[in-house]
Amino acid sequence: MPARSRSAKSPSSGSRSRSRSKTPSRSTPSKAPPPRFKSRPPRASSARASSAPLSLLNLNTWGEPPDLSLRLSALTSRLASDRPSALTLQELFSPFSRRVVDAALGPLYHVHHGYCPLPSLPVVSHAPAVLLFFAGRLLGIGGGVLGAACVLMLPCSILMIWNLVVVKVFIPSKYSGPGHTSFQGSANLFLKEKFDDARLLVQMPYPHAIRGYFEALPSWSLGSLLFLFFQHTFFRPGFLLSEAREKATGRKWIVCNVHLILGTPNPKRAKQMQMALEALEKHAQEGDVCVVAGDFNVQMGNDDCFEQLRESGFQDSMKLAGGGGGGGGGDTWTTENKYVPKGKGADSKPARIDFVFVRGGQGSGGKHEVVFGPGQEVSDHFGIRYTF
C-alpha cells in the first residue's frame, strides 16, 4: 500500500497508479524512545540447528487480483526452496492468500498473521466524510475535522447495508472463500529449523488519528476522490511484532513488520513509526537482535521515520552490507517490474521504498540483495533479503 499513491482502487480493482515526490519533509521529527534494555542471559536450546547463515526477507506481496494465484504459488515455492531464516510479508489481505502461505510454508515456518476485520462502520458511512473533506478544502475549512465528525455522528445501524450488499455480494470470489478478509494483511514467519519459542507479541492497526490518508491526498481529480474513499474506508495498515529464539545460540530476535502510510511528505508516517518503536522497546532486552522491516512508502531521506530509527540504534541493511544506505540503488519500486505501470510522472521513477533495519546481530559485513527482481516478479514490489 503503498512515496506512491493509489488511485481509484477498490478491493476488486486490479490496477493502481502511484505518485511519488522526492522533496524532503520539513516536519519536526517525532522522536522515538531511546532503547531500553533489560539483562537476561541467552538460553541455549537442545535442538541442533543448521549452520547456514541467518537471513531475513521482506516483501510486499501486492494482495490484488492480477495473477494473484500464480504469483503466490511462485512466491511460496521459491521461499520453501530457499528457506530464509525469517520473513516479513505485507498485503496478505484475503483468506485465499493466507491459505496459500499457510499450506506451503506452515510446515517449515512458525507463522504469525496480523488480522484486522472489516471496518466497524459500513462503506457508505465514509462517503460523507470524504465529500466533506473536499468541501472543506475548497472553502478553506478543516475538512478532515468535518469528515471525522460526520463519521462519528452516523448511526451504526446502516452496518446492515454493508453486510448485505458488500460482504455477501462483492467480496466473495475465488480470491477469498472461507475465512475473513484482513485489512491489515501482514505476516511474520520464522524458520522452524532455526528458531523455536516463536510468539506473536503485538498486532496493531494504526489508530484513526494517525492513519494519514487525508494527508496523502495526491490531487483534486475524480481518481483522487475514489482513491481516498477506498483507502480510507477499507485499509487498516499497521505493524506486527513477533519474537523467536535462535536454536543455535539462544539469542532472541524481535521482528517488527511495518506498513507505513503513503504520501511525501506525510507527517503521520513518523507517528506510525514512533508507535511501532515504542511497542518494540517494551520487549527489547540486551543482546537481542531487533529488526524493523517493511513497506515504508517513502525513499531514504524523505521522511523523519529514518531519523527515528537511527536514534533508536537501527542501521539500514544496505549500509551494513557496505552499500552506503543512501537513496539510490537497491530499488524496490521500478518500471523494470512488469507489474508497475509504465505511465508518466513520479510513478516511472525508480525508488527504494522497502527497507530492513537492524539493531544487534553481527554488525557490518552482511549481504543485502534485491530478490524477485526483473524476470522473477511475484509482486509490484521487488523484495529485500539481508543475510547476517
Model confidence pLDDT, tens digit, residues 273-286: 999 999 999 999 98
Q: Do 153 and 132 belong to one domain?
A: yes
Residue 7 lies in a domain: no
In the numeric block, which cell numbers belong to residue 288?
Answer: 537481542
Residue 33: pLDDT band by 50, 70, 90 thresholds? low
Mean pLDDT over the full length of the chain: 76
**CB distance 325 to 351 below 8 Å:** no
128 has a pLDDT exceeding 70: no
Number of CB atoms found within 10 A of residue 345's CB? 12
CATH number at residue 381: 3.60.10.10
375 has a pLDDT exceeding 80: yes
Q: Do 64 and 80 belong to one domain?
A: yes
Residue 15 lies in a domain: no
Q: Do 152 and 293 belong to one domain?
A: no
Average pLDDT over residues 338-354: 78
Q: Do 159 and 293 belong to one domain?
A: no
CA distance 79 to 104: 9
Q: Do 100 and 84 belong to one domain?
A: yes
347 has a pLDDT exceeding 80: no
pLDDT at site 29:
47
Residue 323 lies in a domain: yes
pLDDT at site 47:
44
In the numeric block, which cell numbers belong to residue 156?
Answer: 451504526
What Rg do the C-alpha atoms of the chain give, in angstroms? 20
Number of CB atoms found within 10 A of residue 39's CB? 7
Residue 333 DSSP label:
B
Burial of 177 (0-12, 13-18, 19+ CB in 10 A): exposed
Q: Do 188 and 305 belong to one domain?
A: yes
Nearest Cα residue to 293 out of 224, 337, 357, 363: 357
Q: What is the dihedral of CA 357, 360, 362, 368, to 10 degrees?
A: 0
From 132, 163, 179, give the residue that closes a domain: 179
Q: Do 243 and 345 belong to one domain?
A: yes
- For residue 88, what are the β-bridge partners? 58, 188
13 has a pLDDT exceeding 70: no
pLDDT at site 270:
94
Residue 236 lies in a domain: yes
Kindly report which listed range (59-63, 244-248, 262-266) carries the lowest average pLDDT score. 262-266
CA 296 to chain centre: 7
CA distance 275 to 205: 10
Q: Which domain holds residue 236?
A: 55-117+183-387
Q: Say which residues have a Cβ less than 8 Å from residue 326's Cβ, sequence separation at least 6.
A: 300, 301
Residue 153: pLDDT band by 50, 70, 90 thresholds? very low
CA distance 13 to 125: 21
Q: Do 187 and 279 belong to one domain?
A: yes
pLDDT at site 171:
47
In the numeric block, which cell numbers belong to residue 360?
Answer: 544487534
Q: Do 232 and 126 belong to one domain?
A: no
pLDDT at site 247:
95
Residue 39 lies in a domain: no
From 159, 179, 199, give the residue that closes a domain: 179
Q: Do 141 and 195 belong to one domain?
A: no
CA distance 4 to 218: 9
**CB distance 113 to 92 below 8 Å:** yes
- For residue 188, what are the β-bridge partners? 88, 112
Place of cell 468541501: 135
Strand, helix or coil for residue 309: helix
CA distance 282 to 262: 27
Domain count of the fold of the chain: 2
What separation in angstroms does the CA of 221 have from each of 18, 224, 271?
14, 5, 28
Residue 10 lies in a domain: no
CA distance 271 to 219: 23
pLDDT per residue as tens digits for the range 204-258: 888 878 887 777 766 666 666 666 666 766 677 899 999 999 999 999 999 999 9
Number of CB atoms found within 10 A of residue 359's CB? 18
Residue 269 lies in a domain: yes
pLDDT at site 225:
65
> Read out DSSP for 274-293?
HHHHHHHHHH--TT-EEEEE
Residue 79 lies in a domain: yes
Place of cell 498473521: 113
Q: Do 171 and 101 belong to one domain?
A: no
Total-model pTM: 0.75
Q: Do 352 and 263 belong to one domain?
A: yes
